[in-house]
Amino acid sequence: MKTILSIILGSAISLSAVAQTSLEVGVLPGEKWYGGATDLGIEMPFASDHSDIDLRVTNYNNQTSPLLVSNKGRYIWSDGPLHISFSTDKLNLKTHRGEIHLGEAPEGNLRSAYSAIADKYLKPDGGVPPTEFFATPIYNTWIELMYDQNQKDVMKYAHALIDNGFPAGVLMIDDNWQKDYGDFSFRPDRFPDPKGMVDELHHMGFKVMLWVSPFVSADSKEARDLNDKGYLLKNHSGDMAVLRWWNGYSACYDLSNPAAYACLKSRLTSLQDDYGIDGFKFDAGDPENYLEEKVKVADGRSFDTEQTRLWAQLAMEFPFNELRACWQMGNLPLVQRLGDKQYSWSGVERLVPSMVAAGLLGHSYACPDMIGGGEYRSFLNSDPEKFDPTLIVRSCQIHAMMPMMQFSVAPWRILSPEHLKICKEYAKLHCDMAPYILAMAQKTAATGEPIVRHMAYEFPGEGFEDVKDQYMLGDEWLVAPVMTADNSRKVKLPKGRWRDDMGHTYKGGQEITLNDIPLSRLPRFQRL
């Protein structure tokens, strides 16, 4: 069997039989390709001169999966991380492990290509994340408290949410609540009564989650004890590996060691038993932290994307979970969040394309970052006049018509009462949409069909392949948010009849222009 297979235009080769370590795939006339990485959604469909994508060495700060799908019904799946590059008329692929599988669905469109992938490689298990993730906003203390997580200010944030008219929901306490990385004890100087805090939050109606990572502070007693047991990744000299990640240099659990995996799971379960914690935000699973160049491979598993996959597997042990980095694992009950976006219009413009891409990777149970962006430095200024309220409101509107929405920056701190009122109205819209969104989530759990859908997925053959500023929420709602400082936009309506949020009815198959869209309006169209 050849190690390189060239599929040329017009080839009669049966694609369902193709499985190789390298592939050179001829691009068909009019063919568009999507997939690989959530954060590359803004670049999809991929251009012929797209730079190399190596999913072993980077995840673009978000979910990745070794799959590509095309609007001509062709699909690609790899057993290991893909290296992808495009030339003028070819798609070049290599896999670091296993084989590449190339197939073609009979219907020959984006929907059929994704359905074939879901059926063969991303089969749902029937599970759906807890209702609270969909039914009410999620709140995260990161932007307001950053690395100063403490009981007093967590409670101040929670009470302010209720006092400002927001519904209780899932509340995530972010990084630095613990003594050390790997030591899952509340810092007593910052959390004098963590059990009392959690009890009060529960009484207020919140579910409580804690930020966790697989890292262990390298100079701690915890690291020495775990290393003696063989629970930590090793370097090529056989010593405890000290890995560089965004918050310093740390040791790390070897999740491919069943005893290490069970140890970490037990410690998280103890947090639930001791304090009533509902679940965890599983962060820092990025494959570039665990490259084979950095760690000695143990059983061929705990390195690059395999460590990422095992981290997500651990997250599945806890129904209340959230991940930002994930490998494969699509259509399973894992809550995903887009990677931190800048507080900028370019950050807002990435939300819809990234969420659509996440859907094509099988990650339907997803949240479009934090409202306004997740980069904390943007919000250090305490002067409300320094913030663009339009950007915050438009970001909030996008979240409202997504499977999940998440607040972190306190909108009452940076918005006027008028703009705060609009955000509360869209939080209410999200709650009102919950029954519909939950129904779509149940459908995903049964079939793998995305909740946030590319227009070409829902309406094949109608010319939507390059549209990335509007999307379908399930099969009923076309959402066309304002994603720039301009209050005008064009909307391309599919065939059929559509009624907008203002009560106007349109005949589909046409492009309409919306001018002077008020800040209080999120354009959306219901299929009739």
Distance CA 373, CA 500 (A): 28
CATH number of 452-527: 2.60.40.1180
Collapsed DSSP state (helix, strand, coil) of residue 230: coil
Which part of the chain has CATH 2.60.40.1180?
452-527
What value does the mean pLDDT take over residues 195-221? 98
pLDDT of res. 19 = 65
- Spatial contact of 422 and 520, defined as CB atoms under 8 Å apart: yes
Please check the confidence at residue 9 and state whether its pLDDT lies above 50.
no
Most confident of 76-90, 382-396, 440-454: 440-454
pTM reported for the whole predicted model: 0.95
Instruction: Single out the residue of 494, 434, 436, 485 nearest to residue 463, CA to CA.
Output: 494
pLDDT of res. 376 = 81
Band (pLDDT 50/70/90 cuts) for residue 301 is low
What value does the mean pLDDT take over residues 407-411? 96
Band (pLDDT 50/70/90 cuts) for residue 386 is confident
What value does the mean pLDDT take over residues 497-507? 98
| pLDDT tens readout for residues 264-279 | 999 999 999 999 999 9
Distance CA 83, CA 419 (A): 45
Please check the confidence at residue 155 and state whether its pLDDT lies above 90.
yes
**Angle formed at CA 118 by CA 115 and CA 124, multiple of 5 degrees:** 130
Instruction: Single out the residue of 35, 104, 40, 25 nearest to residue 353, CA to CA.
Output: 40
Distance CA 75, CA 15 (A): 9
Instruction: Single out the residue of 44, 33, 51 nearest to residue 468, CA to CA.
Output: 44
State the average pLDDT for the chain. 93
Band (pLDDT 50/70/90 cuts) for residue 296 is confident
Polymer length of the chain: 528
Compute φ and ψ for 269, nearest 5 degrees: -65, -35
